[in-house]
Chain A
Amino acid sequence: MSSLAIVFRKEIREILRDRRTLIAIGLAVLATPTVLFVISQVSTRTATQTYTVGYSGDIPAGLDVLFGATGLRLERVDDPAAAAKRQVDIGLVFTPAGIDEYYDPSRQSAQIADIRVQTILAKYDAAKIAASLQQKGVDPSVLNPLPVSVHPLSSPVKAAGNSFLSFFLPYILITMSLTGGLSAALDTSAGERERRTLESLLLTPAPRGQVLIGKLLAVSLLSLVAAIAAIGSMLIALSQISFGLSGGEDARVSLTPLAAAVMVWLAVLLAASFSSLTIALGTLARNFRQGQAYATPLYFITIFPASIVLFIPDFNPSLAYYLIPILNAVLVLRDAIMHNGVAWGPLIVTSASLLLTGGLCFYAALRLFTREALLVRS
């Protein structure tokens, strides 16, 4: 058996016996469905929740029925403006001249109630005007000289689902590729120095390059498994959880086979790159704790690119942007999810960029691993 295989097998055996690492990955895998379940519950409850409208004055005939059908409960109050601050979600004063509305924009319930009230009043106004025109013998369609027929080219519900996935999937892919193997990477590099086993390991005739590759493969495998497990649990949860009915369509989210293939490929590249980087940082560190301190900035560095999809959803970069590691993976995965297609140019540039990054990190780790200073400092 080659030294590489011997080291790989030993590292995997140690990882499988490390409760700390396994529990962390297990929690991450369980956390995603839990968070999604909570989001779906909140989303469903928001959609079906009844809000209270405090009012004074006389309600126009028929309007109260509309309020009741739209999840707005009417409650007569003395002072709607005062009541809208805390007692009710929105305050309305009906006068012969019209309606005065009072709501607190800092309260989410008031915002939702306001939207519902505005929608009802717009429909009520339109219905009254149409009825008046018909009484006078005028076709109500004169109010709408340019009627618009909307023909979505894809399901709006599915597009919303893809939009959701295009943010969460890259985010989970990147954070789990980094954190899934981080503990093992530091344990196999900085931990080796801290435990005083490094010297004995380097005393064996095993080529140091092979020793390092064995460690790298074990950590990469763990990162890959962690990322795919977290994403798998998220997709399973999404297939089981409905975010409420929208336009008669059940809002369930799923990943196409093409996007799944792209995601696995990116996960392999990211796992290898992050493993090389974290092992290099761990080799630089004298102990596990120092390794964690070195690795902490990586969390921030990786979260920024993942967030760009959230803040700039329609970001359409030139090919040069795909040279930037992590950001390129986010963009390629976003495109695969949103458009269900792969742009080969960006994917090739992204793959080359991540392979080069991983290669440079591995070279740095190997240089550090073979330096005399590594032993003298330990």
Chain B
Amino acid sequence: MATFGDTLFLLAAFAVLLVLVGIFAWNPVTKIMAERQDKIDSDLDYADNKRQEAQKMADQREAELKSSKEDAVNIVNTAKENGEKQRATLVEQAQSEVATLKANANKDIEQQRADALAAAKNDVADLSLAIAEKLIAKELDPSTQQNLIDQYINELGDANGSH
């Protein structure tokens, strides 16, 4: 004969077990498992975001690096151009200065040569006279020999004037 009391006992025991397991094991542990799932999801999302941000920053840095390289090249080029210009102006200045100096020097030289010639003419006349006086002082009588002296001096003057 069947023991239907066992069925009732089983149903009651199983129902109580179901409730107790649910309260003390299933709910807390599945809650923790869901929380862990959420945490993993959010961590993965967070990591994704961080990775994208890092990528963006790296791109930005790269672009900045490239632009700074271009800047540097520009700066060097400008400096080169400026230097070139400056060099050209300096050379030009120097050349013009040199030309001026040269012209001045030439002028000075010409002046000095003319002065020296004039001085030498007077000196030669005086010197010649002195020599002539010393050579012929005793015999010459200025009045008788005036013709000769004049002729002599004239010859000297011609010789000097031909220069």
> Is the pairing of A and B real?
no
